[in-house]
Every structure is written in C-alpha cells, then in structure tokens.
Chains A and B, each alone.
Chain A
C-alpha cells in the first residue's frame, strides 16, 4: 500500500525538486523545437487571420481566474500583418482595452522591423511603457513584493510561412505574452511551446495556457516553484527582486544534473549560444562590461529582432546585483511612442541599452558614444549580404571609452576556440563567459562592501537604546579611497590610477546612488529590529550573495495555497 505524504507540501504545486523525467528542453530556440510525433494536427492546419478573432471572442474566463492569471501574465495578444495597416492587433485574451496608440505600440513591437527572408518562427522580446489601461486592470493584482518598474514586457513568437490564400503569399503572425515581470528565461520557454501549439490548434490553446497559469502559485521573489504548462513542468527560480541572490541560485543550478527544465527566471534565454551573436566583438567584451557598469548608453544593432533582444537581455543580466539605473529596450522600433524621447539630437540617456535592427538608427544615433553591432560574421560574408542590412559594421565601436581592467586572455582563447566547435561547446563557453563577467560585477563591489561594513555601528558606539535607532554612518569618498588603496580590489586593474578613476566614475552614476540607498536600507532595517537580536553587527554584514530580506528562501511558507 502507498502512504500519502502530505507534510511536504501545503499546496500541490511547489517543490524544489527537479522533474527530471521531462526530456525536452524549454530553452531551445524555435528552430530546434520539434513537435511530438504523436500529436495530431488539426484538420485545418492554417489558422486564418479572421478565424482567431472569432475563436477568441467565444472564449471566456471567470473574473477570479483572470485575477489569478494576471499575477503572472497580463494578456496574450495576437498580432497579424494586415496589408493595408501593417502589423495589427487582432485578438487579446483575456480581453483588455488598449488605446489606439498603445495597441499600435504593441503591434509594431511584436513584429520584426527589418525584412525577414526566411520562413519559420522566431522569438524576440520588447519592453514598453506600461499602458494606462494595464495599470488599472492588472497592476492592482500584482503580488506584493514583486518588482514592478512601470514597464511591461512582451515576448513575441513571430511566424512567417507560406499561405497561398493570402494576397502576398505569406502569413505573418505574432503571438505575444504580455507581462509585468522581467522573467525572460521563463517567458521565452513558455513562448516557444505556446507559439508552436497555437499555430496548430488556434484559440483553445490560449484558453488552456491561461488556465494553466491561473493555477500557478504566487510569483514571490526568492522562491523555487513548479509551474505546470501545457504538459511540461518548469522548475523555476524567482531570484530576489534586487537580484542579490542570483549568485546563489546559479550555484544551485550547477549542482543539478538536469539543467534543461530548470529555469532561472531573470536570466536571458540561453539558446542560441550568445557567443554566436557576439563573435565579432569577443575581444572587446571587457570594455563593454565596463561601459555597462559605468552606465554608458549603448546602441545594440542586431541582424534580427531575436538577436538584438537576446543580447540586450544578456547585457542587462551582467549588471546583477547592481540596481538598474537606466532604461533598456530589448527591441525598439521607430514606431515606439518613446521614439522621440530616447532617440533625438541630444546625448542619449545614461545607462540606456537600445536593441534595434532598423538601419535608420545607424544615422539617427550617429552621435552616440558606443555601438555594438552583433551577428554571425562569417555567414554574412559568404552570403554577401552585409551591406544589404545597412547597419553599422559588425563589432564594437566606441568613441570615448578606454579600458581600465585587464582581459582574461585564457577565457578569450576558449571562446574563440568554441566558435569552431559544436553547439554544446558554444553553450558551455557562453555560460563560462556569463559567469566570468557576473563574477567581475561581484568583484567590483567587494571594496565598496568592505568599506561599507566599517560604517555599520558596533556595540562600542554610543547607541545603546533603539531610540534613536542606530544607522549606517555616512559614506565618505576619501575614506573609501583610503580603504581601496590599503586593501586593493580583486579586479585586475591595469594600474592603480585606473582603479581610482574607475570607482570615481562609478560614484558619479545614478547606479551608485541606488546601490548605496539599497544597502543603507538593508542595514538600517536590520539595525532597527527589536533588541532581541543583539548580535546585530554580525548579522548585518553586506554581501551580495546573502538573502537581504526576511522572506524564506525555501519554497514552502511563502506561497499561498490555491
């Protein structure tokens, strides 16, 4: 007889264990996804433009389910190419009323902005200002504690395929997941499965997907959740909102034997391997990392929306755990309502990462200090299409930046070797690169944290009572540089003058202010706790890999039963 074990899980959903029976990677790019051989196709494979609209209008969802859905996803949006209008929203499920401008913004962001020669499916993503309608409809329902930044994210599964019934002989359609959460890894995985199934099964797929998501536990940061979706189970880490725990989460994953179904929600999608896109600028990655840290604006020019957006997410990920100080747009088009705000004759905003494909931006952003043009160089050369795109030459171009820190030449050689090897080697090299640059971000913070720890009041200080509460002492630049000089930095700076220069530059960025405010908040919160925790100075140490809040890290205890 079996014994039912009920004490492990309060609700049936959450567990940190790994569903390693599942054998299909959710992280594969669309081209690699193969449908199950057993899956019967609909008799009518082509879902026509009008059909979806009709399908969606017959779908309904109870308000309570919609509320639960919108903890994770705002809506699913279908965008079709209309010969008279261009990209046009043809369905929204569950329904949501957008203004004409908002709808047009979503429609244009969901379609490639440059000619697509090949048939097939591609996933790209975008970040747009949160529409007012969404703010009303969805933002009330956001789980407290989740990071919300006034933007929403779209994950678009774009398909182009022959359609003899269409005037132009092609069907072009995007299925878009709209969410308030910056969880690219999770939504790319969902998008790849959902997009393919939607092409075959139409409207009911959207209904099923939304009900699956409505059954998920709440998206609390610092949890590991099991998320059932279309017959798959995604074991998903939601790192701490500040990103401080990412390092821990990553270590956990390395110990797992099956990385395929384990998703760290805030990472960029891992396929295709990022070094493929970055191959023309591998030697400059250390300069690019410095520019990211120093909040320098970067124009990222991609040969496709998929590539541009993947690279922007990847760059953004290197900044963890430093708070995001600038705007980033994985895929930005000339139709975006923020176009004139972000791209104009003035100097670009600090920290702005703009992912584009349209050659227009090459001219419009000619006064920008840094341009990263990504794409596979060899293929382009053999096809002779490098000039057709009209974009800037491949590689890294900077007008102002001079590198402070030494490269890792061993790693560089490894990356270059991997380019000539199979995909597995490229994936491993890509992961090694990400780990290296992430560890540089952590190393960069070490001298700052070392100094900050000296500012935490100790028992020797005259603050014996909680009134007024003990607080972190003020940050003094000169004292920091004295500490830096005395203790050094784990980063291999070329010279000590370069080291001082680099930290000086960073302390003039907005990121420094945000980071310091975050650290002060953590310390002051710990210090102001009731006197029972008398060992404060020990527990208030600042380290990036430590949980910074009192919320439990384990999946249990923080998810409401559903």
Chain B
C-alpha cells in the first residue's frame, strides 16, 4: 500500500473537504484520527480553521484530500463560506450524546445545500459512539484518562461517570439515519477515540466524488469546482473496511 512514488503526486486528484459542526463534537479529532491515526482526549478548540492534507488510494486512483477543519464556535460561523466555497465534499459532525448538536448539523446541511457547490458530497457523522457502547467493547487505542478539568469546549459528558452507556445516547441511530437518507447524505456513526467509522467516511466520499470530472475540469485550466457534475445517491452503509486492519497498516506505514 505504501508505494507512493514521485509520479503519483501528479496523477492524484485534489479533493477539497470541509468539516463543519457544533463546537466540541469532535471535528478535529475525526481529522486527527484520519490523518495521523491518533487521538487526544482533551483537544484544544480550533480557532478559525486548520488545514491538513491526506493522500489516499481508492482502487487504481490516488486522491489527495485537502481538509479544512473549521471552528465550531458561533463567532466564526460567518467565516465558514471561505472554507466550503469550491469544496467537493463536506463532513458534518454531531455528537450522539447531545441532541442539540444534530439540530446544528441540520442547519449546516441546509446552508451547504443552499450556498455551497451544488454537487458537493455531504456526509453526516454521529461522533463519540464509543460513549454509548457497552463497556466491554474493545478499544484498540486505550487512552489514559486526563486529570485535567475539561473546559466547556471539550467537555465530554459521561466520560468520567459510571452511567450506563446506552443511557447517554440522545440521538437514536435510526432517527439520524432517516434524516440523512431524506436529505441525500452519506451517514456514519463514528468514534474518533476508537477509530470506528472514520476511514469509512472518507472511503464513501471518495467513491461518490466525480473524480473523472474533477480531472477533466482541472485539465481545462480553470479547475472550477462548481463546474463539476455530480450524482446525489443515497448514502449506503458499506461494511467492506476492516478498521483494525487499516489502523494497523496505517501505523506500519506511518513514518512520523
């Protein structure tokens, strides 16, 4: 897998992807898991937006995600269009333990559908699913509990309490999935902490992106993302990715 040659950089397809969602739902953690295969329990709030890239191989093609991880705080809301203009993909994240975060996600989806590139591929991700799973679930990356007082921005309910996991869930999977289907979004429940569902999001987005048209339009010189035609199918759950295997591979190949 790790055979990126110098020439592959030239053939790779650039995909601009933006992450949106309420503060403290785990946007940066999703990116960190995807890009570095790491997790930090108490991550500092993002200011403005962070820019990261990650190269991926999908069958015979190489994609290069240009990821704009935006800030969730309301005062940065008006700046979001800078990041989603010309984006080919968006991941809208909510927190399965916080019902209000799904409502915020819905307003982001509406804004994207109204104002972003009309062919943008949108994925809805219900993060922190590890918190609502039975305690016996194996965790591939055990994280030491932080002694730090979590601030408001990163507070994760229930992390240190002994509540029954399923009782923390405020957003039923069925409800969010039905909304995603109706709105034409890809849908995943994810855990940046365990890695569950993370690679799947980017895989399904990669499959849905009209790569040929991106290549054609960028060859045309203008590279106008808005000119890319797209399909809007319903999101399908794909079980083809073995996350543990992927995570292990990622670690082997990572030369950080």
Segment at the B interface, from A132-140, A163-171, A223-231, A366-374: A223-231
CA gap between A385 and B94 in the complex, in Å: 61
For residue A525, give the distance in angstroms from its CB to the closest CB of chain B.
29
Report the nearest A residue to B253, measured CB to CB. Answer: A6
Contact A10 B256 (CB under 8 A): yes
Taking the complex as formed, is B99 at the interface, i.e. its CB lies under 8 A from any CB of chain A?
no
Taking the complex as formed, is B105 at the interface, i.e. its CB lies under 8 A from any CB of chain A?
no
Segment at the B interface, from A84-92, A199-207, A325-333: A199-207
Instruction: Name the B residues within 8 Å of A211 (CB-CB).
Output: 47-50
For residue B23, give the distance in angstroms from its CB to the closest CB of chain A.
15
Taking the complex as formed, is B92 at the interface, i.e. its CB lies under 8 A from any CB of chain A?
no
Contact flags B20-48 to A (C-beta < 8 A → 1, else 0): 00000000000000111000000000011
Most A CB atoms within 10 A — which of B53, B68, B88? Answer: B53
Taking the complex as formed, is A63 at the interface, i.e. its CB lies under 8 A from any CB of chain B?
no
Contact B81 A38 (CB under 8 A): yes
Contact B2 A39 (CB under 8 A): no
Report the nearest B residue to A7, measured CB to CB. Answer: B2
Contact flags A13-36 to B (C-beta < 8 A → 1, else 0): 101110111110000000000001
In terms of DSSP, what is the predominant structure of the interface of chain B?
A: mixed
For residue B74, give the distance in angstroms from its CB to the closest CB of chain A.
11
Contact A207 B48 (CB under 8 A): yes
Taking the complex as formed, is A258 at the interface, i.e. its CB lies under 8 A from any CB of chain B?
yes
Taking the complex as formed, is A349 at the interface, i.e. its CB lies under 8 A from any CB of chain B?
no
For residue B219, give the distance in angstroms from its CB to the closest CB of chain A.
8
Instruction: Name the B residues within 8 Å of A42 (CB-CB).
Output: 78
Contact B14 A21 (CB under 8 A): yes
Instruction: Name the A residues within 8 Å of B85 (CB-CB).
Output: 36, 38-39, 231
Most B CB atoms within 10 A — which of A1, A15, A207, A229? Answer: A1
Taking the complex as formed, is A468 at the interface, i.e. its CB lies under 8 A from any CB of chain B?
no
> Of residues 211 to 234 in B, which have CB atoms within 8 Å of A's CB atoms?
214, 218-219, 221-225
- Contact with B35, one of A12, A197, A233 (Cβ below 8 angstroms): A12
Taking the complex as formed, is A215 at the interface, i.e. its CB lies under 8 A from any CB of chain B?
yes
Taking the complex as formed, is A463 at the interface, i.e. its CB lies under 8 A from any CB of chain B?
no
Contact B53 A9 (CB under 8 A): yes
Instruction: Name the B residues within 8 Å of A558 (CB-CB).
Output: none
Taking the complex as formed, is A561 at the interface, i.e. its CB lies under 8 A from any CB of chain B?
yes
In terms of DSSP, what is the predominant structure of the interface of chain A?
A: loop
CA gap between A66 and B66 in the complex, in Å: 25
Contacts A10-B255, A231-B83: A212 and B202 contacting too (C-beta < 8 A)?
no
A-B contact pairs, 13 of them (CB 8 A): A5-B57, A12-B67, A17-B12, A39-B81, A204-B79, A208-B79, A212-B49, A212-B51, A215-B51, A226-B53, A228-B51, A231-B82, A561-B256
Taking the complex as formed, is B250 at the interface, i.e. its CB lies under 8 A from any CB of chain A?
yes
Most B CB atoms within 10 A — which of A10, A209, A233? Answer: A233
Q: How many A-B contacts are there with CB distance less than 8 Å? A: 158
Taking the complex as formed, is B206 at the interface, i.e. its CB lies under 8 A from any CB of chain A?
yes
Taking the complex as formed, is B127 at the interface, i.e. its CB lies under 8 A from any CB of chain A?
no
Contacts A1-B240, A3-B56, A5-B55: A208 and B48 contacting too (C-beta < 8 A)?
yes
CA gap between A233 and B225 in the complex, in Å: 14
CA gap between A212 and B66 in the complex, in Å: 14
Contact B81 A6 (CB under 8 A): no
Contact B48 A209 (CB under 8 A): yes
Taking the complex as formed, is B115 at the interface, i.e. its CB lies under 8 A from any CB of chain A?
yes
CA gap between A211 and B206 in the complex, in Å: 29
For residue A10, give the distance in angstroms from its CB to the closest CB of chain B.
6
- Contact with B82, one of A2, A39, A215, A561 (Cβ below 8 angstroms): A39
Contact flags B54-67 to A (C-beta < 8 A → 1, else 0): 11111000111011
For residue B251, give the distance in angstroms from its CB to the closest CB of chain A.
9
- Contact with A20, one of B55, B223, B241 (Cβ below 8 angstroms): B223
Taking the complex as formed, is B154 at the interface, i.e. its CB lies under 8 A from any CB of chain A?
no
Taking the complex as formed, is B152 at the interface, i.e. its CB lies under 8 A from any CB of chain A?
no
Taking the complex as formed, is B16 at the interface, i.e. its CB lies under 8 A from any CB of chain A?
yes
Taking the complex as formed, is B143 at the interface, i.e. its CB lies under 8 A from any CB of chain A?
no
Taking the complex as formed, is B10 at the interface, i.e. its CB lies under 8 A from any CB of chain A?
yes
Taking the complex as formed, is B246 at the interface, i.e. its CB lies under 8 A from any CB of chain A?
yes
Contacts A1-B203, A3-B1, A36-B81: A17 and B51 contacting too (C-beta < 8 A)?
no
Instruction: Name the A residues within 8 Å of B68 (CB-CB).
Output: 228, 231
Contact A8 B9 (CB under 8 A): yes
